[in-house]
Chains A and B, each alone.
Chain A
């Protein structure tokens, strides 16, 4: 996984995306712009964060979960 290490912790790009989500950004385009990651990496990274329970998705918009918030605090 690109955003989650095998030990379950987010990678550098995963942390960047979680911080962007925590700041209130929610769409992949916004996350890509804020983190400097290519849009395709933002999309795939958000998918991974969601599968790991660190982010949630409703329609096209993502949010951070309590588990995700705990990891970046």
Chain B
């Protein structure tokens, strides 16, 4: 696949050649630099080849701004970095939004943080920020927002027609689970248009990363996805280890897997309860909290915290697990298998539940590719992409587990996928417990001050919500030059306006719930 892409791009561009990169150190197979005008042609090429736009970002190198696009493939193992240099005085680039739907929001993000203007983009309004910020926050020098750009950024207005009205779903609403606001244009109970508005919890983690050392940034990771904090922690730790060439000992890797999978189950359990509460059934919420509490107790025993964990360290773990932990986890596995049976009987087979979720929010493979959807939502659509299998990190390569997939891509399929994923997680934990090696939990000689070699890395892990991509640019100092977080909920939310068009309000709630969004992760 890599060869095919290489020759294809060479033919397309002629004067620029793609460069093969060491995947183990960089996290991508090919990189190609090109003039901005070629971007759309290259985007079309990737679209034809069945790639999806995993991430788009920008890096300010002072002399020039570098646009970076990551294209990846669902089935094949091939990731391509496409870059293009822009003039920092007048950064203009063509918009890829006509080719990839997911470019819509990534470009808006780049626009408000770097001031890059995308020509042909339909809506360049604020995504995260607000009018009170008069400069581009991620530029290395202070660049003020021009009057013309300000008008563009403030251009969002809720629409209201003769027969339609708009309604604000959130930011204070029982079903948005956080401070997400969706402006709905309604025709009676039917939705004509949905426009998510974000940024109510925006903390600018990416800018914070440019102001502190690698270790100092570690606690921030658990604050992004507070339900899957372990997975974010693990992603960041493994990324930095890969960048610096540190190898964590096997025991640490196994414990990492156990802790992350426990966290994945707790996240999915919370989703299960919240989703059913969205559909009007309150009782399961308390049942899943009962189970979740067991996980939190176990994790509290080893990490000291119950929600925003910060357990992993570069090169290993914060502390070792003991016998109590192992017996506790074994007891939990036995208990949980019985509980799944209860949920299956009471929820999965409930006729009202089936009626509410079947044929609701159908995500086709094409839509999934168009918007770069990932995680259980993608697997519900029938694409078996799981980063734990595809690009194994920690000790995931050593375990035998399957990737549950749906066939139809509706909310019910996504529900079933998450449900089976919890069972798979139990299997992984059991295998890891059985094979837990003895030995140290920290790598030897991890320097206090990490100074990774010059270069960049795109590292991918599978969080409970999907593909988390961490892009780090290092300039050999102990502070990251640029860090970009490609978060799964952000891409998953992008597909929401597409799915709810023409739906009933109640369906919109069911769809929003099935995407399992965590707002602090979207806002970062």
- Co-complex (A, B): no
B residues at A contact (CB < 8 Å): none
A residues at B contact (CB < 8 Å): none
